[in-house]
Chains A and B, each alone.
Chain A
Amino acid sequence: MSDTAAQPREDDAEEPKDPPDADESVAAETDDPSDTDGPVAGPVSTGAESVVAALEAAGAETAFGVQGGAIMPVYDALYDSSIRHVTMAHEQGAAHAADAYGVVAGEPGLCLATSGPGATNLVTGIADADMDSDAMLALTGQVPTEFVGNDAFQETDTVGVTRPITKHNYFANGADTVGDTVGEAFELSRAGRPGPTLVDLPKDVTQAETEETPGPAAPPAGTDPDPNADADAVEDAARAIEAAERPVCLFGGGVIKADASDAARTFARSYGIPVTTTMPGIGSFPEDDDLCLSWGGMHGTGYANMAITHTDCLIAVGTRFDDRLTGGIDTFAPEAEVVHIDIDPAEISKNVYADYPLIGDAERILEQLTAAVREAPDAEAWRDRCAEWKETYPLTYATPEDEPLKPQFVVEAFDEATDDDTIVTTGVGQHQMWASQFWTYTEPRTWISSHGLGTMGYGVPAAVGARVAADTMGEQDREVVCFDGDGSFLMTMQELSVAVREDLDITIAVLNNEYIGMVRQWQDAFYEGRHMASDYTWMPEFDKLAEAFGALGLRVDDYDEVAPAVEEALDYDGPAVIDFHVDPEENVLPMVPSGGANGKFATAEDQL
């Protein structure tokens, strides 16, 4: 993982760094935050005003949250702020929306909640951001300092609860410093490997009077690592790549977070190296490129998994080698020497031993590496072999006339009907896999999903966050499509009320199979078909529910209804929900069983 482009770097000599400064000065109507000579925020009179002034100065433009007693002073200060606040239906939705907003915008997302249940409701979203290394700042209200520890009304040890799922969290202990703390937490979330941070704000601190204006925000010392890799290590890796005969790139989410997609494309194309991605890395490399083998892992493409299994040189960038990618570690890339590029030294040789560790910013190192490799590896035969695997193991599905509508067909229909810059969000489960398999992604920050934590219900609030981000960036024409499962949709669909209230143009495609489908698939494969608690015998009529929310609601049962419904929903200027009743028995394939070998994937149900 790597620092985002928005992270100002002192030694950024090669490229003009106008985007961060430009962005920030738009939002902050106060002084230019890059001016480090003096305070950057305007005058304040309370701790809460100091909090908001620090957020404005750091460039925050949007916040997602839910009101409540202990956070009220901060909300009161937001009343006069340039920051747009989107009130969500549930704090979990606020965290997911902020997370997705941050992914699309390339800026830290911002979410707010009150103490106690407000804070604990954020926890799932914070953990989600932590697992996916998404920059996000959560601000939580807390009972007044004198009540802390006394089990006061709506008191939770928020700092204690969120300690293992944040990069760092803070307990604000004074009005004079609270603005600086918030500014530091905001910057820390995007410094180095991004991740969520949290500041717990006792009500007495935010209510107290202060005239201390927050100073210029910076991440804490030692948390903003050197973006450059060791030059000798780069040379060694370059020699290994030159000598390789079966090289494969593996681009992870860190490529996207580091805004290194261009550098990654240049590197792979310059030397004709086939490319696989991880799921979070989807979009880092265009999937319609001849070199692209799409993503690997449990439900990844057969050709990606074959390439990873047979490569002799795996060039992995910004990935932590999650078990859903590697399967059994001893059968993961068993013949490969591994070049591992990552901003976080702790990821080096954590799961997969790195022969050539390169620690630093993904974009910078890919540029270093592109320059250091003198000749392309002799990999023509290897590329041919990868192409053969593409033909041997295509992603396909059957559409027999006597079976219900196939969910994959719905994904393809949306892909055909939309432009390349369309943002896709998903929940978690079978629909998520189909959305990633049967949509051709070509641009970074267009695939927004819950990867590491696997949070069902991520899709709808993420669509809200993604839509707000696109609108904030002036990209109103981009479509936002949420693929959701019936189970996932039921978990967070209350955020549809936000989409209606805020008039957000999103399209939600519920791939409704009346199952917790992925669990049903596993029960069929590994539990003798005993459908314990996965079979939803009654589902609400989602189209009518959507109408009750004030959204457009459609229902589709057959193939010939798909295209017209997709068109109507996309054309509709506001939130639309299509309830696609799809084949309940459809399975996600190919599949590598948990802990299995990537090279031994099942391509048919009877192989499981």
Chain B
Amino acid sequence: MSGDSPDSRPATDGGSPASGGVPEADSRPMPSEQPGPEERNHPTGRRNLEGIRIDPVVEAEHESRRAVISALVEDEPGVLARVSGLVSRRQFNIESLTVGPTTVEGHSRITMVVEETDPGIDQIEKQMAKLKPVISVGEVSGDAVTSELVLLKVQADDPAAVHAVSEMYDGRTVDAGPETITVELTGDNASIDNAIGAFERFGIVEIARTGPTALARGNTPTAPGEKPGTAGEPTTHDD
């Protein structure tokens, strides 16, 4: 690419409008035909000193954050493949995905935990909403009830100590053998992580985590448009 690009020619450079003045058609080369950015009728705080618009998306530093997205979907073959395919194709960072039926026949709920920026989360919701089997989709607000189930198999060298730790974290022993003990735990992300840390000293043999699932608190619908108290019956098909 040559440095002598067309845009650097003085006759056509209009990149830095100077202030004021009545438009004069014949005053080339005159980048001053337009009033300066500060004189234009635009929302405040949107331009830098050079008059270049500050694009809130491009300029802003977006931090990734953890978000729980809940979708009410039609329980048809391939719906999980459609959702997971979308997530992988568009390179969204996904932490976990759970799916299960609701009490409404033919409806399932998918709960997804993603690590994304705000525009990324917005895109996930919009792209998922376009999938035909997705009835409604939205982020579950921050104070939602989230819970995860974990099955944890540890060495049974010291059964009494395992039971003690298990009780501390409200765990339940689901299998106990001469060599291993399997404990079931539920809780939010942080308490599960704490529990796993506590069990580590016994020697963790195997672990299986479901990933969090979530519901909104109170009368707030978990997925937009969902009628509270109807266990997955939407008020409208789309939001």
Contacts and interface: CB of A to CB of B under 8 A. Distances in A.
> Do A and B interact with each other, yes or no?
yes
Nearest to B60: A353
Given A384-B25, A385-B14, A163 B78 contact: yes
B1 interface: yes
Interface of B: 1-2, 4-8, 11-12, 14-15, 23-25, 28, 33-35, 37, 40-42, 46, 51-53, 55-58, 77-78, 81-82, 85-86, 89, 119, 122-123, 126-127, 129-132, 135, 237-238
A380 interface: yes
A600 B28 CA distance: 20
A283 interface: no
A324 B58 CA distance: 18
Contact of B52 (A171, A223, A335): A335
Contacts of A409: none
Interface string A417-451: 00000000000000000000000000000000000
A334 interface: yes
B55 A353 contact: yes
B135 to A, nearest CB: 7
Interface in A211-228: 220-223, 225
A233 B51 CA distance: 25
Nearest to A219: B132
A337 B40 CA distance: 12
Contact of A245 (B11, B15, B35, B135): B35
A335 B28 CA distance: 21
Interface of A: 159-160, 163-164, 167-168, 171, 188, 220-223, 225, 243, 245-246, 302, 306, 309-310, 312, 329-330, 334-337, 344-346, 348-350, 353, 380-382, 384-385, 388-389, 392-393, 590, 593, 596-597, 599-603, 606-608
Contact of A381 (B25, B41, B55, B82): B25
Contacts of A380: 23, 25
Given A159-B78, A335-B53, A392 B11 contact: yes
User: Residue among B12, B122, B238 with the most chain A CB within 10 A?
Assistant: B12
Contacts of B56: 353
User: Residue among A246, A384, A385, A389 with the most chain B CB within 10 A?
Assistant: A385
A188 B131 CA distance: 12
B58 A599 contact: no
Contacts of A163: 78, 81-82, 85
A243 B41 contact: yes
19 contacts: A159-B78, A164-B85, A171-B77, A171-B78, A188-B132, A225-B238, A306-B12, A309-B15, A335-B53, A337-B53, A345-B129, A348-B126, A384-B25, A599-B6, A600-B5, A600-B8, A602-B1, A603-B6, A608-B1
Nearest to A245: B34
Contacts of A599: 6-7, 15
A309 B7 contact: yes
B12 A388 contact: yes
Given A312-B34, A350-B123, 11 more contacts: A163-B82, A163-B85, A222-B135, A335-B37, A335-B51, A336-B53, A346-B130, A349-B122, A389-B12, A392-B11, A602-B2
